[in-house]
A and B are shown apart, each in its own frame.
Chain A
Amino acid sequence: MNCGVGEGEGKRTGRKKGREMEMKMTIGMGEHDTGQALKVSGLTRIYGSSCPDCIRMTGPDHGTNICRVCGSVVACADISFDVMPGEILGIVGESGSGKSTIVRCLYFDMEPTCGEAYLRCYGKGNIFQVSSQEKQIIRNLYTGMVYQNPQLGLKFDITSGGNIAEKLLAANWRNVGRIRERAGELLERTEIPLARMDDYPRNFSGGMQQRVQIAKALANDPDVLLLDELTTGLDVSVQARILDLIKDIRRNTEAAMVLITHDLGVIRLLAERTIVLKNGRIVEAGLTDQILEDPQHEYTQLLVNSVL
């Protein structure tokens, strides 16, 4: 489907010159020259009937993501980015800017209106185009997700160990003893007391629920981890421990992570690169220190200046 979105560079306002040099990179590549773990291009998701004017009538220039002609919501449009193995990409933007929509499309919780996404570990092309069976495989073997709302990521009437076992079973683990052992390891790694393995997530604190979600997301040793507002609404000491856990994951795995947050402190601490979203569009993308210290777009400047 043609969404009427321009191709190519997207909205990388930060770059003044071409990127032909990418290919000529000669130094310092080390182990990182193996290509992007995740590459997304032109991802668009429209809620509603949609009309030919939806894209043109929405976006930061119009200050809205609602099409004036047909009333559809353009949750995100023409979203392009990539993430290297072992890298954390931050996504920031105000509430409603389309952050969750992006990761939920990537986790196949919803279908994009159009766009492409490629995983390095899955060499069979655009993952939005494959059969639902293949999508199951991708989800079970290669990706992990931590939802903004733990109720979406966990079954509250199944034990925490059981929640993790589900993901392991989906990833073709069969030996019950080893599944239990692995679930125990994951809970230990995410600092959930083993004694709580047979307890239900509904009895857990918000911080513990997020940690069980992380344990579950890590179960299949994913190549791509999608983290949606994983510290929102938690008290600061609990937040700190979760952020340290993410750093630990970065140190010990090669997982590429997409980290959604509205907390610029979290971005500064964790993300090497950041994209800024407004009204469903990327208004700026760049190195995190550049985004925070030399923001180019008006909205980014507003965002950075709003920090208390």
Chain B
Amino acid sequence: MNTNLEKNRFEHEQPGNNHLEICNLNKTFTVHVSGGKQIMGFEDVSFNVKRGEFLAIIGGSGSGKSSLLKCIYRTYIPDSGLILYHPGPEYQPTDLTAATDHMILNMRRSEIGYVSQLLYAVPRVTALDVIAEPLLMRGMDQAGARDIAANYLARLCIPEDLWDAYPSTFSGGERQRVNIARALVASSNMLLLDEPTSALDPASTAIVVEMLREVKLKTTMIGIFHDLSVVREVADRVIVMKNNRMIKTGTPGEILGSSTGD
């Protein structure tokens, strides 16, 4: 894996080019309540993500994809390794594995967004307000924020009579679209997406894919997908996880073959 990293370093020579560098990252879970049992999350993962790149992670159930994403967002604490986040050419990189909780919270406000695989809904907040909130936090006025939120909901084909309802009562697919819209309006510099299209029908998937392609121009994205046709459409590069290791990386063409062979 080390040699792989060196190679990547060599490939993107400009120092400002990498947005994220992951080096020899490991994660195991120690379950004290089951007598200290060790559960493997993933081991020895290294890769770089360039600014503006869309990296897709694919692999079987339990292979460590979500754990990897959660380590980047710091919902999980990795055992060892580095996660270097490069805010921009004029800044020093931050090692997210060593950053304080306050630093991580600040990063989450402006730099890194995350859409969970679980279709979580904050209770008693309407769909409109869920999406408007990141805008309000950035100082936008109520009317403007709700306007933009309404646009997103309309575009994602959420029926208008649901806009003022609580997503905790929504279907899985509706909830997922609200969560994606919230992450998109926040316009973070990096977005982590855990199976963002898993609960969606083909029509909504197509809309979400189109939206992801739009924000791709200004946002670096790392996304976990099971739907390989989506990977072909959005990803610049693919990482394959198997048995809790990263076994392959390449372009969608290299990894998935030609689109007819699905």
Contacts and interface: CB of A to CB of B under 8 A. Distances in A.
A30 B77 contact: no
B92 A24 contact: yes
A294 B77 CA distance: 7
Given A19-B100, A22-B100, A301-B33, A30 B75 contact: no
Interface residues of B, number: 35
B123 A21 contact: no
Interface string A1-43: 0000000000000111111011011111110100000000000
Contact of B111 (A19, A28, A272, A287): A28
Interface stretch (B52-60, B101-109, B236-244, B246-254): B101-109
A28 B94 CA distance: 12
A272 to B, nearest CB: 6
Interface in B69-113: 70, 74-77, 79-80, 87-88, 91-92, 94-95, 97-107, 109-111
A15 B98 CA distance: 7
A22 B99 CA distance: 7
Contacts, number: 94
A291 to B, nearest CB: 10
A18 B98 contact: yes
Scoring B75, B107, B111 by chain A CB atoms within 10 A of each residue's CB, the highest score goes to B75
Contact of B106 (A27, A244, A297): A27
Contact of B33 (A15, A28, A273, A302): A302
Contacts of B123: 240, 269
A287 B32 contact: no
Given A21-B103, A286-B101, A298 B32 contact: yes
Nearest to B92: A26
Contact of A28 (B29, B77, B80, B107): B107
Contact of B75 (A17, A87, A269, A290): A290
B87 A290 contact: no
A32 B106 contact: yes
A305 interface: yes
A296 B99 CA distance: 17
Interface in A91-112: none
Contacts of A61: none
B124 interface: yes
Nearest to A289: B75
B31 interface: yes
Contacts of B91: 26-27
B29 A294 contact: yes
A240 B95 CA distance: 38
Given A21-B98, A22-B102, A240-B123, 15 more contacts: A17-B98, A22-B100, A25-B102, A25-B103, A26-B87, A27-B88, A27-B94, A27-B110, A84-B102, A87-B105, A269-B123, A273-B101, A273-B105, A294-B29, A302-B32
Q: Which 3 residue pairs across A and B have the least CB separation, nearest first?
A: A298-B32, A17-B98, A28-B106
12 contacts: A16-B98, A17-B95, A27-B87, A27-B88, A27-B107, A28-B109, A87-B105, A244-B124, A272-B105, A287-B104, A290-B76, A294-B29
Interface of A: 14-19, 21-22, 24-30, 32, 84, 87, 240, 244, 269, 272-273, 285-287, 289-290, 293-294, 296-298, 301-302, 305
